[in-house]
Structure 1
Amino acid sequence: MTTLNLYLVRHGQTYYNIFNKMQGWSNSPLTQQGIDGAKQIAKRLAGTKFAGAFCSDTGRAETTAQIILDHNHASDLTAPHTAPYFREEFYGYYEGTDITSSWYLAAGPHGLKSLTDIVEKYSFDTAKDFLKEADPFHMAEDHDDYWQRVDQGFALIANDPSLHDGDNVLVISHGNTLLSLMDRYAPGKYDLSKRPENGSLTRLKLVDGQIEVVSYNE
Structure 2
Amino acid sequence: MKYTIYCIRHGQTWFNHYQKIQGWSDTPLTPAGEKVAQQAAEKLATVPFAAAFSSDARRAIDTCQIITAANCRHDHLQPQKLTDFRESFYGSFEGMFSAEAWYQVLAPHGYKSLADLGPEVSYDQTKDWMKEADPFHDAENATEYWTRIDHGFDYLDTLAHEGDKILLVSHGNTIKSIASKYGDGSFTVNSTPANSSLTLITRDQGQTIVTDYNHSLID
Same fold, TM-score > 0.5, yes or no: yes
Match among 190, 196, 206 for residue 209 of structure 1: 206
- Compute the displacement of 1:173 (Å): 1.3
- Compute the displacement of 1:190 (Å): 2.9
Give the root-mean-square deviation of aligned CA atoms: 1.4
- Partner of 1:52 in structure 2? 51
- Compute the displacement of 1:111 (Å): 1.0
* 1:128-143 equivalent positions in 2, closer than 5 A: 128-143=127-142
* 1:150-169 equivalent positions in 2, closer than 5 A: 150-160=149-159, 163-169=160-166
- Compute the displacement of 1:178 (Å): 1.2
- Compute the displacement of 1:75 (Å): 4.6
- Compute the displacement of 1:118 (Å): 3.7
TM-score, structure 2 normalization: 0.94
- Partner of 1:94 in structure 2? 93
- Partner of 2:110 in structure 1? 111
- Matched residue SS, 1:120: coil
Matches of 1:155 and 1:46 in 2, distance apart?
27
Number of aligned residues: 215
Matches of 1:100 and 1:187 in 2, distance apart?
30
- Compute the displacement of 1:119 (Å): 5.4
Matches of 1:71 and 1:187 in 2, distance apart?
30
- Partner of 1:30 in structure 2? 29
- Partner of 2:8 in structure 1? 9
Asked if 1:72 corresponds to 2:71, the answer is: yes
One-letter amino acid matched to 2:43: R
- Matched residue SS, 2:187: coil
- Matched residue SS, 1:121: coil
Identity %: 44
Unaligned runs of 5+ in 1: none
Asked if 1:186 corresponds to 2:183, the answer is: yes
One-letter amino acid matched to 2:179: M
Instruction: Determine if contact 1:13/1:34 at 8 Å carries over to the other structure.
Output: yes
- Matched residue SS, 2:145: helix
